[in-house]
Amino acid sequence: MTDTTPFSPEKCSRLIVKIGSALLVDPAGAVRRDWLEGVVADVAARVRAGQQVAIVSSGAIALGARRLGLPKGGRASLEDAQAAAATGQIALSHCWAELLAAEGLTAAQMLVTLDDLEDRRRYLNAAATLDRLLALGVVPILNENDSVATAEIRFGDNDRLAARVAQAAGAQGVILLSDIDGLYTANPGVDPTATLIPQVGAVDARIMAMADAGSASGMGSGGMISKLEAARIAQSAGCRLAIVSGKVDRPLSRYAETARGTVFEAPRAATARKAWLAGRLTARGRLVVDAGAAQALADGRSLLAPGVKGVEGRFARGDVIEIVTAEGVLLARGLSEYDAADATRIAGLRKDAASEALGYAPRSAMVHRDHMVQL
């Protein structure tokens, strides 16, 4: 069931605000301080009204690149990006702490990696830290730890990070401040007939087809595709997400007045474990299933061995795996009841044959419905 009441971010007890590099840093690589002071004033007003706010802030690489004189905004190589991030993050954190302190607020810094939120135990630790900081009235400033992230193991954009932070924090809303004021039917920079879509339900193939992967500024790492992927993650946690223009002064106040943007509605939240599974960006392997198994999953049933036609990857029992069709369509994500070797032995087999192949009585399912989330 989807909540159809209008989205009012100021009414969320917990709100996550994401700010991209193109908004926070000017083309010369300096902080747009006047604009940022307006954002901080908006945040301070929300906190004084009793709201808990966390901020996901980009900008470290852009700031560090300027200080180090690195080409291409610090993105010429992974090593340059890591050095720029390490240099720029301290300047970025200082700026946030100084401006929030001027409003009587305390800032905290949290740098996270993809693994911090993909590993269940580390995810719970991060969630506990966020919860305590917000309960104390602190404004956490989060960013991906780009100084140690690699090309293979990283979020790659702060849109998806913001959605995962919202999940961990138990937030009710996410605002992505962007250089565009929402999702359009086509790229408005190319198609003059493109129109703004004020409200979106499920992020399906039709919605994804409207996205443009580019970042208009050249400074950021995301685009509309990353924002739609963030919306999917937020929706899995029952959290609404809005794409809003940040190219105005006091953007949070402006959005409260005009409601101009795109809101992605959310159904009722899944259980905490299933929301974590749905929001994951990585998996250890895949089970390829036939049409009968796909229908069983759609009916809310567990995945049984006879419906599995292929096993991919190297995984252990309890690892997160994806369940896909023969065409590669992602159906679900869950915790495997078998390691990859045993899963391969019993794929396609019924109970008696599976017992003989394994040498022991097989478990009730390859992936149990209680440890699975449909996507």
224 is in an annotated binding site: yes
- Asked if residues 343 and 287 have their Cβ atoms less than 8 Å apart, the reply is yes
Tokens representing 193? Answer: 């007939």
Radius of gyration, alpha carbons of the chain: 22
1 is in an annotated binding site: no
- Asked if residues 86 and 118 have their Cβ atoms less than 8 Å apart, the reply is no
Average per-residue pLDDT for the chain: 90
Q: Which of 115, 70, 72 is nearest to 88 (CA)?
A: 70
Question: pLDDT at position 282, please?
Answer: 84
Amino acid identity, position 196: L
- What residues contact residue 333 under an 8 Å CB cut-off, 6+ apart? 277, 278, 280, 283, 320, 321, 322, 323, 372, 373, 375
**Cα separations (Å) of 246 from 39, 119, 175, 267, 367?**
9, 33, 10, 27, 43
Return the DSSP state at 49.
T
Q: Where are the beta strands (DSSP E) in the chain?
A: 14-19, 52-57, 107-112, 139-144, 173-178, 199-200, 240-245, 262-264, 285-289, 308-313, 320-325, 330-335, 372-374
* Beta bridge partner(s), residue 264: 200, 241
178 is in an annotated binding site: yes
Question: Is residue 301 classed exposed, middle or buried when 0-12, 13-18 and 19+ CB atoms within 10 A define those classes?
Answer: middle
Question: How far is 314 from 288, CA to CA, in rounded Å?
Answer: 14
Return the DSSP state at 276.
H
Return the DSSP state at 31.
B
Find the helix packing angle between 272-279 and 224-236, rounded to 10°. 160
Q: What is the DSSP string of 57-84?
A: E--HHHHHHHHHT-GGGGTSSHHHHHHH
93 is in an annotated binding site: no
Tokens representing 69? Answer: 């004189």
225 is in an annotated binding site: yes
Question: How far is 121 from 144, CA to CA, in rounded Å?
Answer: 18
Q: 332-364, pLDDT tens digit by residue?
A: 999 999 999 999 999 999 999 999 999 998 998
221 is in an annotated binding site: yes
**pLDDT tens sequence for the chain (375 residues):** 555 566 888 889 999 999 999 999 998 889 999 999 999 999 999 999 999 999 999 999 999 999 999 998 888 998 999 999 999 999 999 999 999 999 999 999 999 988 899 888 899 999 999 999 999 999 999 999 988 876 655 777 899 999 999 999 999 999 999 988 999 988 888 888 989 999 999 888 888 888 764 444 334 445 889 999 999 899 988 899 999 999 999 999 999 999 999 999 987 666 777 788 888 878 999 999 999 999 999 999 999 999 999 999 999 998 999 999 999 989 999 999 999 999 999 999 999 999 999 999 899 899 999 889 888
11 is in an annotated binding site: no
309 is in an annotated binding site: no
User: How many other CB atoms sit within 10 Å of the CB of residue 226?
Assistant: 23
Question: How far is 229 from 207, CA to CA, in rounded Å?
Answer: 11
Question: pLDDT at position 212, please?
Answer: 60
**What's the whole-model pTM score?**
0.82
Strands of the sheet with 262-264, listed across from one edge = 107-112, 139-144, 52-57, 14-19, 173-178, 240-245, 262-264, 199-200
